Structure 1
């Protein structure tokens, strides 16, 4: 069986992590969740007011380590799921280039929900701190991420698995 690189993407609060958990059970794959890595490695040091440069630097470090460990898992023949945000088209294109360079089968999974549903979901997750909670997402953080998010083009969605829209 050939290992597959599964990649979830979508806006904040869309349900990517819940989707990835279900997919991992079905595909017997290992999940790499950026929020969990960020919370574990940098959460205790996180400044009260998050600075963009501080966050970008640490996201880059986490992603580099995730790619390194994921490559080792894939080398064993085990599929992986990257749940690392990929908010911008350029980020998703970079993943495509990496997978193509090493001839790794790639499957994108697009997860979305209406903004009001996502905002409420994130707010509830901050309080409940259930299975998919990794880090508090303040309303300001949510708004910041909304400003960075680039919805996929129809061409980008060709061949992608589109998760059923949650309301």
Structure 2
């Protein structure tokens, strides 16, 4: 049976790297919110940053990505979702959608020390490597850090170990 693979964790934990490895291993199709947001809205990003503006567009992207995921799943392939999943409600919503559509779900929580994650993000800004989509400033990092909801012990029990 085809599966939905949810990769989640705080900013700079290594979600995109893990999602790329998973999609290669599974020959699945990866959906990355950073790539979609950059391509569709990057040139229009307001200065200074407006979190409400960004979150509205994230929701639009996620809705379209889910429609694409269903097509991929129906065609016989797994999907790997690298969408941030900042809140438990975000993660639960996708688990329910997948279950209602008849697909299995595997969740992967990835984390790292706060200082290491901040260093990774700032280095990614400079190096602009494989997982770079757009610059994440210090204030953006702090805003996303404050928004991230760590998984409950019950949610962690449902996660695959990486």
- Give the TM-score of the pair, scaled to structure 1: 0.94
> Would you identify which runs of 4 or more consecutive aligned residues in structure 1 move more than 3 Å?
none
Q: CA deviation at 1:100?
A: 1.7
Cα displacement string for residues 113-161 of structure 1 (whole angstroms, at most 9, x for unaligned residues)? 0100000000000000000001111100000001101110110011311
Correspondence 1:106 to 2:105:
yes
SS at match of 1:97: helix
C-alpha separation in 2, matches of 1:107 and 1:20: 12
Deviations 1:61-98 (A, max 9, x none): 11011011111011001000000011111111111211
Query: Which sections of structure 2, spanning at least 5 residues, go unmatched?
Result: none
Give 2:62's aligned residue: 63
3-state secondary structure, aligned to 2:6? strand
Q: CA RMSD in A?
A: 0.8
> Where does residue 161 of structure 1 map in the other structure?
160
Distance apart, 1:16 and its partner CA: 0.3
1:22 Cα deviation after fit: 0.7
CA distance in structure 1 between the aligned counterparts of 2:80 and 2:151, rounded to whole angstroms:
19
Matches for 1:111-130 after TM superposition, within 5 Å: 111-130=110-129
2:12 aligned with 1:13, yes or no?
A: yes
How many residues in Structure 1 have an aligned counterpart in Structure 2? Answer: 162
Give the 5 Å matches for 1:128-139.
128-139=127-138
Unaligned runs of 5+ in 1: none
CA distance in structure 2 between the aligned counterparts of 1:25 and 1:66, rounded to whole angstroms = 19
> For residues 58 and 34 of structure 1, what CA distance do their matches in structure 2 show?
10
TM-score by length of 2: 0.97
Partner in structure 2 of residue 47 of structure 1: 46
Give, in angstroms, the shift of residue 41 of structure 1: 0.2
